[in-house]
Structure 1
């Protein structure tokens, strides 16, 4: 966390804020909104929302209609050749660049992601737990590397320290790969990872309101509106 001796990095104008859900009812409370860059999903989120792989075309179409710039969809197999075949089907669901293929950062996944990145397909290496995995993502041309802060902390790790190391590896690589921090469970957790220089976060829809709806701002607005009406 930043302090007076170690100030936070300057905010980046290209910061990406994503929503982490496949629940259309929950997502509809936030979308469309120009602050939201994209929506991230995975098989667990699909299951929680009562969706199956067969529902992905409708999900992707709906989210793009709600003006998100990217939808991230995860492969559901473990072998490199199978991942590539599934990725080809996912890519066909949207225009180039709109569909980001999520792949776990396993040995097989890194190989599949490298091939997709070589073709110009945006890739997120997900379930990133170690600093070297973030470096590997940058080496292979991934768009994002996604660590899970909350899950790291649940496992007894210093998640913020791990993420700081990952961010340092990415900055040292000079690659365009972004750290996309997931498993964020509070507004403070979001602020902490932003202070570390992460260039993207993905949050549950319920957390979106905590970040953008501030009661003091609303209270000030009510005073302004009351004063404006008093002049009528």
Structure 2
């Protein structure tokens, strides 16, 4: 498996940790999180958070999951673990527990950082674990838009959701180092498939590749 920067797919790991912490009772969805300067200064895409602002965790999760908002991801990391580095430790512990043997995380948002990497296989394992362990929350990744309190945000993978009706959940990301990345959970009849693309050359080419891979998988599964 080729090692690659996972870009915004990193947020899948952040979401798994966030959902786990809520489920364990360590933090509540209505817990107010103070926005740090670091979070407020994150690069696009963002929700537009301001330093010192306070927002419930549930809205930060929605913005990070659907819009891919980097400021929301950093804010929820600090709110849950006290610091981004402490949250990254939780992400790496989670990765170890899920058997993501070729992944390492340094931040919650996925912007390029030395020592942060993954593979398509590990991302598929993570996506499957999210669907298995947090079914209700997982389906947030299939919503075309969500209320993030200060604004309604559209899904960063809206084009893919619209173009592929079988898509149940989608996560996308891009950095110069990672290229165009995407994760899709799709269902056709009784069959379900996960498609991961890392290092795509454009949004359109990535989406086209993901849809073709899903169609190929469904065609093969139709014999069973």
Same fold (TM over 0.5): no
Normalising by structure 1, what TM-score? 0.25
- TM-score, L = length of structure 2: 0.26
